């Protein structure tokens, strides 16, 4: 444990496929009205594509950034239902998730596609957030490290050194997502240190700059313990990010940690 992080904390809310216009606008307004201290972490929300325009309208000029939950690997063209990197840039998105486990599972996204999406985002000037994580069967079989290392290496192998600065990863164990039972802080730390080690093998400067978020049942009660871990550089919050006051409490826990 150490008091100071080398990297600024990042608190990100993944709104997944929740809400309608009225609910999303109310959530945005509540976030926007919050007093965020100067020591606040970097904060971002990821609404569904159809709600991005509202996010831009409400959050523009304020401290909370926004982004998307997915991206198309292709720059443009006949790709029905997809959204390109350029479209996200046009909406001033800063971040985009790639390889979220819900897409890997329900859309059959494999490592090669995730790597292509990562590069598409990076080359358009977006910050991709590469999501990695093992399921319960893999963890119980003692294969968690092997699974996340494979997921990470698949992307690293296709990247140039320029693509790697700076990288944001999100370790999201599938068994913790939506379960109400987050990984323990020490358990998260162990996996984050492993992931940082993989990046370090490509150059220490990359490892130093890489932010690794933890995701999976993060809430106001468990966030502070996660921030204490030396390799936890923020959190990717699902369910709790739909409740403005709880999300803001997580942001405040990060600010309190950074103010020490
Ligand atoms: P929950 O916080 O609801 O477990 O979701 C985590 C997640 O998948 C964020 O991307």
Nearest residue by C-alpha to atom 5 in ligand 1: 238
Instruction: Tell me if residue 190 is catalytic.
Output: no
Separation of CA 106 and ligand 1 centre (Å): 15
Task: Read off the pLDDT of residues 206-259 as tens digits, 9 standing for 90 and up.
Answer: 888 899 999 999 999 999 999 999 999 999 999 999 999 999 999 999 999 998
Separation of CA 174 and ligand 1 centre (Å): 9
| Contact yes or no for 215/244 (Cβ under 8 A) | no
- Is 0.85 surpassed by the pTM of this model? yes
Instruction: Tell me if residue 100 is catalytic.
Output: yes
Ligand 1, atom nearest to 101 Cα: 8
Mean pLDDT of all residues in the chain? 95
Tally of structural domains, the chain: 1
Render 51-108 in DSSP notation, one character per residue. GHHHHHHHHTTSSEEEEES---SSSSSS-TT---HHHHHHTT--EEEES-HHHHHHS-
Tally of residues, the chain = 260
CATH number of residue 39's parent domain: 3.20.20.70
Give the pLDDT mean for 111-130.
96
- Range of 22's domain? 2-259
Separation of CA 198 and ligand 1 centre (Å): 24
């Amino acid at each position: 444990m150490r008091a100071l992080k080398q990297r600024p904390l990042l608190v990100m809310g993944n709104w997944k496929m929740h809400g309608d216009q009225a609910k999303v606008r109310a959530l945005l307004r509540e976030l926007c009205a919050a007093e965020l201290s100067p020591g606040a972490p970097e904060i971002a929300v990821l609404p569904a594509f159809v709600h991005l325009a509202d996010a831009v309208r409400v959050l523009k000029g304020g401290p909370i950034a926004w982004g998307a939950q997915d991206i198309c690997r292709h720059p443009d063209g006949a790709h029905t239902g997809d959204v390109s990197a350029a479209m996200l840039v046009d909406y001033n998105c800063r971040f985009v998730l790639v390889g979220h486990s819900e897409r890997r599972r329900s859309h059959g996204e494999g490592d090669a596609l995730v790597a292509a999406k990562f590069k598409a985002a990076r080359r358009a000037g977006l910050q991709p957030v590469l999501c990695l994580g093992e399921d319960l069967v893999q963890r119980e079989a003692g294969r968690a490290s092997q699974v996340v290392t494979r997921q990470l290496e698949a992307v690293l192998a296709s990247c140039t050194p320029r693509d790697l600065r700076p990288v944001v990863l999100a370790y999201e164990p599938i068994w913790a997502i939506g379960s109400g039972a987050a990984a323990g802080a020490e358990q998260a730390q162990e996996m984050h240190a492993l992931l940082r080690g993989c990046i370090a093998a490509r150059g220490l400067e990359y490892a130093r700059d890489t932010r690794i978020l933890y995701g999976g049942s993060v809430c106001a009660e468990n966030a502070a313990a996660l921030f204490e871990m030396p390799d936890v550089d923020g959190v990717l919050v699902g369910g709790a990010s739909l409740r403005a006051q709880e999300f803001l409490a997580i942001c405040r826990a990060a600010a309190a940690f950074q103010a020490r």
